[in-house]
Amino acid sequence: MIPASFDYIAAKSLDEAISLLARHKDDAKILAGGHSLLPAMKLRLMQPKVLIDLGRIKDLAYIKEEGGQIRIGAMTTHFQVETSDLLRRACPLLPETAANLGDMQVRNKGTIGGSVAHSDPAADWPPAILALDAEIVATSAKGDRIIKASEFFVEMLTTALQPGEILREIRIPAAKGKVGQAYVKVRHPASGFAVVGVAVNLSVDGGKCQSAGVGITGVSPKAYRAAKVEAALKGNPLDAKTLAAAAAHATEGADISSDLYASTEYRKQLAAVYTRRALEAAAARVK
């Protein structure tokens, strides 16, 4: 449980971090919260020669509303998201998701950007980011690049970030009209990760669903948007029959994972049940 030898550099600015990453290239890893990287290094599953710590770059920790978007800096901690008055008012899905993440120690130190960039298939942030149709801002020596959430999560532990890029900011479109949001999960009793987690973002007009975002984690090698669930909701009233019928499509087209804790069939059933519960909770909160 001892990592291989490495050099540690605490970057004082984002520009310095980008420069260091460009210089060391594949030999370097970015340290944000460290809850995934450090255990992997201790097991020698990852052996970077250089660790670039972003923890001292205070300019990367913020939550603000600007230009019709909610903007969240990559180094914003889970606890800061959980306790943000702005987010509780404008995007309650994010504080609710944060409250379901890990434990108090993890939430105090872990960062939203680090979790999203890690792309763990059972992490809590990816389904919320997908359901909200967010944008990821990646920055490098070439400047900023905007990546849609739907294109960001490529595969297990793999994202659309390119060599030399650092996740700088997450942008959420400001909600319009009547909105209901919810996140529910089946928590693994040992790790706290999601066996199944479902994030829902509903927009309602005239008593009918105008738009729907449904992100699911824990089921497949990557988090995904449940497109068939969303399609079954749009244009329909959010009554019990519609919600149950839509939830039945939760794993349609998905590559369902199986492990020692949950078989493929068990996960499929959990996904349908918890998608229905998340839809019901979101529909009840529409205002």
Give tens-digit pLDDT for 4-47. Answer: 999 999 999 999 999 999 999 999 999 999 999 999 999 999 99
At 56, is the pLDDT very low, low, confident or very high (cuts 50, 70, 90)?
very high
Q: What average pLDDT does the segment 50-75 reach?
A: 97
Domain end, chosen from 120, 141, 173, is at 173
Does residue 251 fall inside a structural domain? Answer: yes
CA atoms within 13 A on the CB side of 278: 38
What's residue 176's pLDDT?
Answer: 83
Per-residue pLDDT tens digits for 211-263: 999 999 999 999 999 999 999 999 999 999 999 999 999 999 999 999 999 99
What's residue 1's pLDDT?
Answer: 81
Per-residue pLDDT tens digits for 105-128: 999 999 999 999 999 999 999 999
Q: Which residues contact 88 (CB under 8 A, 6 or more apart)?
A: 95
What's residue 122's pLDDT?
Answer: 97
Assess whether 182 and 280 both reside in one domain. Answer: yes
Assess whether 169 and 188 both reside in one domain. Answer: no
> How far apart are alpha carbons 175 and 191 in whole angstroms?
33
Backbone angles phi, psi at 11, to 5 degrees: -65, 140
Domain end, chosen from 173, 206, 229, is at 173
Assess whether 28 and 86 both reside in one domain. Answer: no
Q: Containing domain of residue 79, as a range?
A: 58-173
140: domain CATH number is: 3.30.465.10
> How far apart are alpha carbons 25 and 220 in whole angstroms?
30
> How far apart are alpha carbons 27 and 71 in whole angstroms?
31
What's residue 177's pLDDT?
Answer: 87
Does residue 86 fall inside a structural domain? Answer: yes
Nearest CA to 81 among 56, 102, 67? 102
Tokens of 204: 């309602």
Does residue 1 fall inside a structural domain? Answer: no
Nearest CA to 32 among 102, 135, 112? 112
- Beta strands at 28-31 and 50-53: parallel, antiparallel or unpaired: parallel
Does residue 209 fall inside a structural domain? Answer: yes
Assess whether 102 and 187 both reside in one domain. Answer: no
Per-residue pLDDT tens digits for 142-177: 999 999 999 999 999 999 999 999 999 999 999 888
Assess whether 210 and 259 both reside in one domain. Answer: yes
Question: What's the total number of domains in the chain?
Answer: 3
Assess whether 49 and 66 both reside in one domain. Answer: no
Assess whether 49 and 62 both reside in one domain. Answer: no
Assess whether 43 and 74 both reside in one domain. Answer: no
CA atoms within 13 A on the CB side of 226: 36
pTM of the model: 0.97
Nearest CA to 76 among 26, 113, 50? 113
Assess whether 254 and 189 both reside in one domain. Answer: yes
Assess whether 266 and 202 both reside in one domain. Answer: yes
Does residue 2 fall inside a structural domain? Answer: no
Q: How far is CA 6 from CA 30, 50, 120, in A?
A: 13, 5, 24
Assess whether 62 and 169 both reside in one domain. Answer: yes
CB contact at 8 A, 33 and 61: no
Does residue 74 fall inside a structural domain? Answer: yes
253: domain CATH number is: 3.30.390.50
Nearest CA to 160 among 116, 123, 193? 116
Long-range contact pairs involving 135-138 (C-beta distance under 8 Å, separation at least 24): 135/170, 135/171, 136/160, 136/167, 136/169, 136/170, 136/171, 137/167, 137/168, 137/169, 137/170, 137/171, 138/162, 138/165, 138/166, 138/167, 138/168
Assess whether 133 and 98 both reside in one domain. Answer: yes
**pLDDT at position 193 over 90:** yes
Q: Which residues contact 118 (CB under 8 A, 6 or more apart)?
A: 36, 37, 157
What's residue 281's pLDDT?
Answer: 98
